[in-house]
Amino acid sequence: MFDAVLAQLEPPLGANLGPFQRLRRRRNAQEYPDFAEPPLTVTDLVEDRAVATRLVDLAERVLDQMPVY
């Protein structure tokens, strides 16, 4: 699904979706931890929340304008 959304938004907004992949990997790492990696910190979570908020804002702006892919 990510690739379909990226194809519709690139250009000019596709670059704004880059952080989504990082958030997805972080969430997955928390569900299936690699104990050799350092745990998330409060700072990580605060930064990720800001990124997630920007992604939701982007979705709200473009959702009504996107055709069925």
Q: What is the pLDDT of residues 38-67, one digit of tens each?
A: 888 889 889 888 888 988 888 888 778 777
Residue 36 has pLDDT above 80, yes or no: yes
DSSP annotation of 37 = S
C-alpha to C-alpha distance for 37 and 44, rounded to whole angstroms:
14
CA dihedral of 51, 4, 32, 29, whole degrees rounded to 10 = -30
In this predicted structure, what is the pLDDT of residue 40? Answer: 84
- The residue with greater pLDDT, 16 or 36, is 36
- Residue-number span of the structural domain to which 58 is assigned: 2-65
Total domains, the chain: 1
Q: What is the pLDDT of residues 5-21, one digit of tens each?
A: 766 776 777 667 778 88
In this predicted structure, what is the pLDDT of residue 17? Answer: 74
Q: Where are the alpha helices (DSSP H) in the chain?
A: 2-9, 18-31, 42-62
**pTM summary value:** 0.66
